[in-house]
Structure 1
């Protein structure tokens, strides 16, 4: 198994640039890397701040 690189990939760079391109504030590569696992596991719900959702 190949070890993962810690340097940002072009896809992370592109994903971080998208919000700025459509008029939102800048998003860092670190933010993209931080939220990706939640999105992979839970879809859109993985991006929601769970501190603000109470069912």
Structure 2
């Protein structure tokens, strides 16, 4: 699970870095994109952590 979490963060970081290297100014569209990615990554991480805790409590 940690591996997938790490891969997700690498993908998000890669997208942000790519957009920055293209020289785009952080406009509303880019801010919205980053916000959505941050929200999805955070929500996904919370779900993964919750499932991990549920699995540990069951065993």
- Normalising by structure 1, what TM-score? 0.33
User: Which protein has the bigger helix share?
Assistant: 2
- Normalising by structure 2, what TM-score? 0.32
Query: Highest CA radius of gyration, 1 or 2?
Result: 2
